[in-house]
């Protein structure tokens, strides 16, 4: 016992990072990708087999943002049992903060040539910038807001919900109500966020044209680096004492409370951190896809994020990253190859993963998953019997 404690106190972060096999693989891939892909795109000549076309780089950059988003959901769902069906809201708010900066950067290059107001405001006959747009001409302010606004919303929402001990599906449904309400609110043209069309027609970021390959490459690298940093941060949280409490809350919330922990503060902390991560993901996402609109608030998207995590493997962090890549790649692939039938595959994938791979894809790889190295079929058999046995308690 003392041994372990000593180890924890003495081993720096690097120590347990090295022992986190999945994490090491993920970080190595991220480092490799952030070197090779920009090189492949910018330096390797077109026509070479190793050339990375721009569309693929921006696609992968987009996946990285989704992976970061999935990571943030896994942090709260996999480690604290908070199933948020509204995480898309934090993602979108981060995206809007970045989008507002990019809108201000357009300056007088908009179609109506107004140096101060974005096109849609000129169009709505607004004569001056609303107060909540002030400051967004500064990059640092936008970045701070991309983290602060989702964090604040999560803090207020979490404070109310966790204090009143709203848990389980009730929490899931009200997070969904939150993102739905925001969807409707941002959808209104009178809100001053561009209504249904959202913010678009971006020109440049920090003076660099968003359409140049080098800017894209930089954004890709930034996304990869940010995903790496957030991964390490999340791993720090889950490996710390606080992380242990979180896991305990996930497994038996009442017992933790009765032991004397203020469960709501732990939950509030991790929920807010997760929302900030989602906000960062959103702010990286927007310059790469070139548009942010209320569609990102759609409850369906938030449900999909949870599905990425489940497909990859809940409670592993790197599983969430893998899941985001698998599902989104499947989506890209099937919408192109069999546009008429891809929903069958995607739907089938979700059903199959739930039934056959209860621990997600990562759980099927024996090294990462169940220690007893059971085969997939054996796992299913066990699940059926478990399911029967488990039916004792009410869900």
Partner 1 sequence: MNKKLQALMGAGALAWSAMTLSTAQAADTIKVGVLHSLSGTMAISETTLKDTVLMLVDDLNKNGGLLGKQVEAVVVDPASDWPLFAEKARELIEKDKVDVVFGCWTSVSRKSVLPVFEELNSMLFYPVQYEGEESSRNVFYTGAAPNQQAIPAVDYLMSEDGGAAERIVLLGTDYVYPRTTNKILRSYLNGKGISDADIMENYTPFGHSDWQSIVADVKAFASTGKKTAVVSTINGDANVPFYKELANQGIKAEDIPVVAFSVGEEELAGIDTKPLVGHLAAWNYFQSVESDANAAFIKKWHAFIGDDARVTNDPMEATYIGFSMWKQAVEQAGTTDVDAVRQAMYGQKVANLTGGTAVMNTNHHLSKPVLIGEVQDDGQFDTVWETEGTVVGDAWSDFLPESAKLTADWTYPWVCGNCEKPMY
Partner 2 sequence: MRIVMTAVLTAVRPRFVWRISVPGLIAVCAICAVIATTMPHPAHAFSDEELRNVTEKLNVKSATKKIKAIDAMAADGDPRVAPILNAMLEGNLFVRDSDEHVVIGAKKGKVWSHIDIVSGEIVGESSSKELSKIKVNNRLRGALRDALAALNLFSKDIVVRTAAVEQVMDARDPSMLPLLDRAIEREEDPTLLARMELAQATMALAAGETPKQRMAAIDVLASETTPQIRAVLSQFVASAEAEGYEPEVIAAAKGALKSVEGRLSMWQTLGDVYRGISLGSVLLLAAVGLAITFGVMGVINMAHGEMIMIGAYTTFVVQQVFASIFPSGSPWSLMIAVPAAFVVAGLVGIVIERCVIRFLYGRPLETLLATWGVSLVLQQAIRSLFGATNQQVMAPDFMSGALELSNGLVLTYNRLWIILFSLIVVGGIAIVLRYTAFGLQMRAVTQNRRMAGSVGIRTGYVDALTFGLGSGIAGIAGVALSQISNVSPNLGQTYIIDSFMVVVFGGVGNLWGTVLGAFSLGIVNKFLEPVAGAVLAKIFVLIALILFIQKRPKGLFALKGRAVEA
Per-residue tokens: 13? 């972060």
- Residue 56 binds what, of partner 2, partner 1, none (CB under 5 to 8 Å, by partner type)? partner 1
Map residues 207-226 to x or -, x wherever contact with partner 1 holds by CB under 8 A.
---xx---------------
140 binds, among partner 2, partner 1, none (CB under 5 to 8 A by kind): none
How far is it, in rounded angstroms, from Cα 246 to Cα 251? Answer: 9
- Taking the complex as a whole, the smallest distance from the CB of residue 244 to partner 2 amounts, in Å, to 22
Task: Could you list the beta-strand ranges (E) of 128-219.
Answer: 199-200, 204-205, 208-209
Does 155 sit near partner 2 (CB under 8 A)?
A: no
Please say which residue, 13 or 184, places its beta carbon nearer to partner 1. 184
Contacting range for partner 1; rule: CB under 8 A; set: 74-82, 262-270, 276-284, 288-296: 288-296
Tell me whether residue 122 or residue 248 sits nearer to partner 1 (CB atom). 122
d(CA 202, CA 291): 8
Cα 88 to its chain centre, rounded Å, is 8
Q: What are phi and psi of 57, to 5 degrees?
A: -65, -45
Binding flag, residue 374, partner 1 (CB under 8 A): no
What would the two tokens of residue 277 be? Answer: 């991560």
From the CB of 197, what's the least distance to partner 1, in Å?
Answer: 5
Residue partners of 394: CB distance under 8 A and separation at least 6: none
Give the C-alpha separation, 386 to 33, whole Å.
41
Q: State how far the Cα of 272 lies from the Cα of 159, in Å rounded to an integer.
A: 10
If DSSP codes are grouped into helix, strand and coil, which group holds residue 116?
coil
The correct pick among 7, 19, 21, 165 for binding partner 2 (CB under 8 A) is: 165
- Cα distance from N-terminal residue to C-terminal residue, the chain: 36
Q: How far is the CB of 301 from partner 1 (least distance, A)?
A: 9
Q: Quick one: what does residue 130 bind among partner 2, partner 1, none, with the CB cut-off 5 to 8 Å set by partner type?
A: none
- DSSP class of 200: E
* Residue in the block written with tokens 């050339």: 51
CB of 345 to partner 2, least distance (A): 9
Alpha helices in the chain (DSSP H): 2-10, 13-19, 21-42, 54-80, 87-106, 119-123, 139-163, 168-187, 213-239, 241-251, 253-259, 263-289, 299-312, 318-337, 342-356, 360-364, 376-390
Please identify which residue in 188, 196, 366, 378 interacts with partner 2, judged by CB under 8 A: 188
Q: Is 173 in the site for partner 2 (CB under 8 A)?
A: yes
Stretch that binds partner 2, among 63-71, 158-166, 207-215, 233-241 (CB under 8 A): 158-166
As measured in angstroms, the least distance from the Cβ of 71 to partner 2 is 18
**169 binds partner 2 per the rule CB under 8 A:** yes
Q: How far is the CB of 80 from partner 1 (least distance, A)?
A: 28
Instruction: List all residues 6 or more positions away from 348 whose beta carbon is below 8 Å from its beta carbon.
Output: none
Q: Write the DSSP assignment of 255-302 as a string of letters.
A: HHHHHT--HHHHHHHHHHHHHHHHHHHHHHHHHHHSEE-GGGG-HHHH
- Coil, strand or helix at 369: coil
258 binds partner 2 (CB under 8 A): no
C-alpha to C-alpha distance for 317 and 141, rounded to whole angstroms: 30
Question: Which of 349, 365, 370, 374 lies at the binding interface for partner 2 (CB under 8 A)?
Answer: 349
- Measured CA to CA, the distance from residue 20 to residue 114 in angstroms comes to 53
97-126: contacts with partner 1 (CB under 8 A): 111-113, 120, 122-124
Residues 78-107 that bind partner 2 (CB under 8 A): 83
Among 129, 232, 289, 349, interactor with partner 1 by CB under 8 A: 289
98 three-class SS: helix
How many Cβ atoms sit within 10 Å of the Cβ of residue 393? 6
Binding residues vs partner 2 (CB under 8 A): 83, 157, 160-161, 163-170, 172-174, 176-178, 180-181, 184-185, 187-188, 254, 299-300, 303, 306-307, 310, 340-341, 343-344, 346-351, 353-355, 358, 380, 383-384, 387, 390-395
Contacts with partner 1, residue ranges (CB under 8 A): 21, 25, 53-56, 58-59, 62, 111-113, 120, 122-124, 184, 187-189, 195-198, 200-202, 210-211, 289-291, 293, 295-296, 329, 332-333, 335-336, 339-340, 342-343, 365-367
């Amino acid at each position: 016992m003392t041994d372990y404690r000593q180890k924890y106190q003495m081993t720096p972060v690097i120590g347990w990072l090295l022992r986190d096999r999945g994490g090491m693989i993920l970080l190595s891939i991220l480092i490799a990708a952030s070197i090779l892909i920009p090189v492949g795109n910018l330096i390797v000549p077109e026509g070479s087999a190793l050339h990375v076309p721009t569309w693929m780089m921006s696609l992968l950059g987009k996946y990285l943002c989704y992976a970061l988003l999935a990571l943030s959901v896994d942090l709260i769902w996999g480690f604290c049992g908070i199933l948020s069906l509204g995480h898309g809201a934090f993602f979108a708010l981060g995206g809007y903060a970045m989008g507002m900066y990019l809108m201000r950067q357009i300056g007088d290059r908009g179609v109506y040539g107004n140096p101060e107001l974005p096109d849609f405001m000129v169009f709505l006959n607004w004569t001056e910038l609303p107060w909540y747009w002030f400051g967004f001409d500064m990059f640092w302010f936008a970045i701070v807001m991309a983290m602060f606004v989702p964090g604040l919303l999560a803090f207020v929402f979490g404070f109310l919900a966790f204090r009143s001990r709203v848990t389980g599906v009730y929490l899931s449904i009200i997070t969904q109500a939150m993102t739905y309400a925001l969807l409707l609110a941002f959808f209104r043209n009178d809100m001053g966020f561009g209504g249904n069309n959202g913010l678009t027609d971006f020109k440049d970021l920090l003076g660099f044209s968003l359409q140049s390959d080098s800017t894209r490459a930089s954004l890709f690298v930034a996304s990869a680096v940010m995903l790496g940093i957030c991964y390490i941060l999340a791993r720090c949280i889950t490996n710390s004492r606080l992380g242990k409490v979180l896991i305990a809350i996930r497994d038996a919330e009442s017992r933790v409370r009765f032991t004397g922990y203020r469960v709501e503060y732990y939950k509030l902390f991790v929920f807010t951190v997760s929302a900030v991560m989602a906000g960062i993901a959103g702010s990286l996402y927007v310059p790469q896809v070139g548009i942010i609109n209320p569609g990102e608030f759609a409850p369906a998207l938030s449900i999909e994020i949870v599905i990425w995590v489940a497909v990859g493997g809940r409670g592993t962090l790197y599983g969430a990253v893998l899941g985001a890549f698998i599902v989104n790649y499947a989506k890209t692939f099937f919408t192109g190859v069999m546009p008429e039938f891809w929903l069958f595959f995607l739907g089938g994938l979700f059903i199959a993963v739930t039934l056959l791979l209860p621990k997600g894809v990562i759980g099927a790889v024996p090294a990462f998953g169940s220690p007893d190295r059971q085969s997939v079929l054996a796992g299913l058999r066990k699940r059926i019997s478990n399911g029967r046995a488990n039916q004792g308690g009410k869900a």
